[in-house]
Amino acid sequence: MTLLEQLFQAIVSGKSKDAKALAQQALTEGVRPTELVDRALVPAMADVGEKFKTGVIFVPEMLVAARAMKEAMALLAPHLAAAGISPKYTAVIGTVQGDLHDIGKNLVAIMWKGANFRVLDLGTNVPAEKFIAAIKEHQPHVVGLSALLTTTMPAMAATVQAIRASGTPPVKVLIGGAPINSQFAREIGADGYAPDAATAVDIALQLVA
């Protein structure tokens, strides 16, 4: 197995330490950081996303794989920046006001980073005004809203409404979270809905295309 294949496997199987060591070894051997991202990290997360979508793996495996990817990415980030590789798109993401769940939102953020988005993560319990301020400051291509509670779905609707009424430059809004579905997305005027983090990449790329 080549070094890139080993790194791919380490990420898919969630071996953070191995992923970091292999990424370091590859850098030391002169492999370009972009090659590591394009030929190991991104394909690994795509593979994990497919396996998750088709029920081959479940949330725990996806979380450890995401962590391994995050560790390898953290190691490469300064090298990518030094090489002048800037992300193609910008996204703002957060969990809506009243909601403290962030595991799914973090997964989406990591997957977006893996797909070459610059991601500004506003955290949890984010009021509409904070989303609007971030849109004005960073002019993202996509805004992602996450909600895990049925009781915070109205906050999601209110946030979409506030963004639309705020006079910010037009921005695509993508929503997700366990109680959310595409019908709700249509009802509240969101541009897209994704049931999981892997699909959130596909939909975000469709929205910015």
Instruction: Summarize as ranges the residues that interact with ligand B1M (CB under 6 A).
Output: 59, 93, 98-105, 107-108, 144-146, 148-151, 174-179, 194, 196-197, 200
DSSP 8-state class, residue 209: -
Determine the Cα–Cα distance for residues 49 and 114; give it in Å rounded to an integer. 12
Distance between CA atoms of 193 and 148, rounded to whole angstroms? 14
Residue number, 104 or 140, with CB nearest to ligand B1M: 104
C-beta nearest to ligand B1M: residue: 104
CB atoms within 10 A of CB 102: 18
CA distances from 36 to 42, 80, 157, 188 (A): 9, 10, 39, 40
Identify which of residues 42 and 110 has a Cβ nearer to ligand B1M in the complex.
110
Comparison of 72 and 200: residue with beta carbon closer to ligand B1M: 200
Is the CB of 7 or the CB of 200 nearer to ligand B1M?
Answer: 200
In the bound state with ligand B1M, the residue whose beta carbon lies nearer, of 33 and 140, is: 140
